[in-house]
Amino acid sequence: MQEGQAIGGRAMESMTGRLLVATPALKDPNFDRTVVMLVAHEPGGALGVVLNRATEVPVADVLGDWSDLARHPAVLFEGGPVQPDSAICLARMRHPIKPVKGFHRVSGAVGTIDLSVNPERLRDAIGSIRVFAGYSGWGAGQLEQEIEEGSWFVLDALPGDAFVDRPDDLWPMVLRRQGGMMAAVAHFPPDVALN
């Protein structure tokens, strides 16, 4: 989607490559305290992967040839509730300027990689990967509506956000680095009733 293209009757820039950070107001258990990287945002909808929901399934058990490139923790991640039997792989390239077959840039050095490509051919080009089972998807205008309702903060991503060693810490980490009132949200208790 091009900058300024109309979505839902008003102009909106593409949010591809940005982070959706769940606000405490978001009550959907699929997205409680999640950080989602949008890998596509177009007039027809949006697609992203949850960056901070690690499973205990090793990448080696599912995609053995790719496991050497998986960043610690080298496990599958729950990318979202849509098509949990499918896989999306994010990769961080060592040299983001050089075009690489099978790599689709999302933002800077980070993009999706085609898992049908032989990983040996990409070993020198890829710094690390993360594999997601399923994805998070929104129809036309749905994500924009959720943002307007206060369900998501839309924030800039850093190149390492998708590959942090401690994914459980990503939600508060992203909020704290914003400073001000946004940093205070990082300390919001998971269940206000217990506070």
pLDDT tens profile 123-147: 888 999 999 999 999 999 999 999 9
- What type of residue sits at position 150? G
**Rounded distance, CA 111 to CA 107, Å?**
6
pLDDT tens profile 86-124: 999 999 998 867 778 889 999 999 999 999 999 988 888
- Tell me which residue of 22, 82, 27, 25 sits closest to 52, measured CA to CA: 22
Tell me the pLDDT of the chain averaged across its residues. 89
Per-residue confidence (pLDDT) for residue 13, from 0 to 100: 84
Strands 82-93 and 110-113, by their bridges, are antiparallel
pLDDT tens profile 149-158: 999 999 999 9
- Tell me which residue of 117, 72, 120, 124 sits closest to 98, measured CA to CA: 124
Walk me through the domains of the chain, giving residue ranges and CATH numbers: 6-180 (3.40.1740.10)
